[in-house]
A and B are shown apart, each in its own frame.
Chain A
Amino acid sequence: MVRIELSEDLKEEMKKLREEIESLKEKLRDATEEKLRRGRGIYIDIGNRVHDYVEDVMEGVAEGIHGELEKSIFIGPRGVKILRRKGEPYEREDEVEVSFPRVAEVMSALGQEHRLKILNELMSGGKYVNELQEKLSEITGSTLSSHLKVLEEAGLVVQEKVRGRYLITMPGRTAYKMARRVTRFLERRNQE
């Protein structure tokens, strides 16, 4: 049998913890008794509960981020190295399965001159419909709305529900840049 000798510090720490647990139990007993005595009323600590709650949420988020970082990023003396997660094979972009109808939906949303112009306007920041209308005066109000709807359904833009601005999404930005790059590449090939 192995006997473990506890250090004085550890003994002291354990003693403090026991005292703290006892004090918490006592407070819980008092609160419960008071609650039973007064019927429906519930006593709560009004110290900093909202702050505690928000802190809990933030801690949860921070822990999640930290956890993810630990899995994927190694910061060492020679700099930052981004790693693959253990046991998880690297998934190449072109190996991810995407349904053809979805690809067609996104590509058809891109395949319209006015919609490309809308995306181009949104590249510089979120805009209200009237701002877009001003910039794209050749498009009527109803046509602009229907184009925005197509772009939104494809996930290339998103509309704020409160302020009402339209924003280009991260995939929308990538898709717009990709469309321009492919076209530029083809143009160059045609000129050669």
Chain B
Amino acid sequence: MNWQKYQLDNTVLKATEALTLWKTERGVMEVGEDTLAIPIKLDDQRKGYIFHGHGKLLLDTIVETEEGAVGRPVEKEVNEPFLMLGDTEKIQQHLTTASKEDFTKIGYENQQEFVAEAEDLYDQFFERGRTCGRQSFGEDHGSVFAFQNKDSKLDVLVVKGSKMVYKAKGMVFVSSENKVVLKSLSEVVLSRNGKLFVIRK
């Protein structure tokens, strides 16, 4: 069995400009300028970050069928710390060391407060097994995002190319080429090439 070690870095960075962390036809994850970031490393290589700033998540979790569209899009202001594993190369060019003022801008007294929050999220994500290996990330290998929801649980988004899995409170959305599955509290919708199958609870 192959065991690898992910670790939080000691340095705290900030975004020098607004960044698009992920974008496809179905979704966008953006963070604003001055967003704080702690790198997540694997064997001294950056594999992801824990961010905290003014982020925005848009997801078209809609199933388009011949019988009409089902589901609603997700539009979420992400003002809590969130985790990202994936392609870090483009991101790290737009990060610089954070200063004391940068912490206060986000609402922290000091760096330690932010680090403590980031560690909590890191523990929650990695210790619950929703993790993945070195071979699974990077530009061609997709990304994983984990957001803390109101119940202090994690909403998880896994993306790779046009494929997407989003699991949040009360919903699961899976899209892969021409196949889409949407499971909500009230119904399960399956669509393949526009053909629809709906089960209402």
Using a CB–CB cutoff of 8 Å, the interface residues on chain A facing chain B are 27, 31, 34, 38, 40-51, 53-54, 57-58, 60-61, 64-65, 68-69, 72, 126, 158-163, 167-174
Q: Which listed residue, B6, B8, B119, B199, touches A69 by the CB 8 Å rule?
A: B199
Interface centre among A40, A44, A48, A158 (most CB of B within 10 A): A44
Majority DSSP secondary structure for residues of B touching A: strand
Q: Which secondary structure dominates where chain A touches chain B?
A: helix
Residues of B within 8 A of A38 (CB): 5
A42 close to B3 (CB less than 8 A): no
User: What is the interface size of chain B, counting residues whose CB is below 8 A from a CB of the partner?
Assistant: 53
A178 to B170, CA, bound (A): 31
Are B68 and A159 in contact, with the CB atoms below 8 A?
no
Q: Show 20 residue pairs from A and B whose CB-CB distance is below 8 angstroms, ordered by the A residue.
A: A34-B3, A38-B5, A43-B3, A44-B4, A44-B126, A45-B3, A46-B3, A49-B131, A49-B133, A53-B156, A64-B183, A69-B199, A126-B64, A158-B69, A158-B73, A160-B73, A161-B73, A162-B24, A162-B25, A174-B68
Docked complex: B173-201 residues within 8 A CB-CB of A = 174, 181, 183, 188, 190, 199, 201
Which chain B residues have a beta carbon within 8 Å of chain A's beta carbons? 1-8, 24-28, 58-60, 62, 64-65, 67-75, 119, 126-127, 129-136, 142, 144, 156, 158, 165, 167, 172, 174, 181, 183, 188, 190, 199, 201
Measured CB to CB, the nearest residue on chain B to A43 is B3
B62→A72 contact, CB < 8 A:
no
